[in-house]
Structure 1
Amino acid sequence: MILDKLQNAPRYYTLHPLFEQAFRFLKETDLTALPIGQQAIVGRDLFAIISEGTGTTEKDAKLEVHRKYIDIQYIVSGTDHMGWKDLAQCSAPSDPYTEERDAAFFPDKTRNWFDVPAGSFTIFYPDDAHAAMVTEETVRKVVLKIAVN
């Protein structure tokens, strides 16, 4: 898991062949003008999910993981409160993995909570169980999905 500001994105370009293009999309696109929903960038290898709204509470938050995609979650406005736990420390999923949604959900709770303000991003790999949108504040965000392979 990585937490940083968009201005530091070049540090991470070498971590995946599509990271430079992903971060360039965040820097060069008017993210406030994008409609809510999905936007293709490089077919199904790199795409964006734009959302805006409020979230849930820490008590109700569910940790999730993905197998096919790495998440870069960038906060456009507001502050997202997120949680993290190493997948190796999670119990069996309460909602098992399905390929269609590329997600499994866990009943586990975490003590690792942090705020991600506007202008910042997180990177979650397949071994990073994470809970996002744990906030009562309205948050606009872009989740970039980057194919692992």
Structure 2
Amino acid sequence: MSSSEDLLVVIADGAQARFVRFRPPGKLKTERTFESVAAHLRSSELRSDGPGASFHTGSTAHHAVEPRHDPHESEKIAFARTVASELNALPEGSFGGLILAAPARLIPTLRDALAPLPARNLIGTVEHDLVKVPDEELWPHLEAVLPAGIHPARL
């Protein structure tokens, strides 16, 4: 079972992420943050070029064909994979237990992008966007997935 010192919480949404560690005596501290550059771009800036043209026989009119995917949604998925890659790159033994906290639509992407070792250390997921929640207010959101015996510091 993991002790509080080796638990890592990865908090992410489609644009920001942070790695949070438990620090004795039961406090949480952000140790690393990430931000997607693409999150601040307009959809038109995310496309490589303009939409393709569609030509209908019997007509001289041309119509732009909109992409079948939302460029921002694609960037959110790509960012989640980048966060998982950063997690996968951590040295073996740098954490013993892992909690993923992200909006429900991103949890499968994060989980699927984990390498075997981090995936084995996954002890729970929290399907909420906690990116903007300060470290000192995270405990109530995480308590349901924490291993027994790990509690917040009593103030």
Q: Same fold (TM over 0.5)?
A: no
Larger Rg: 2
Larger RCO, structures 1/2 (Cα 8 Å, 6+ apart): 1
Q: TM-score, normalised by structure 2?
A: 0.25
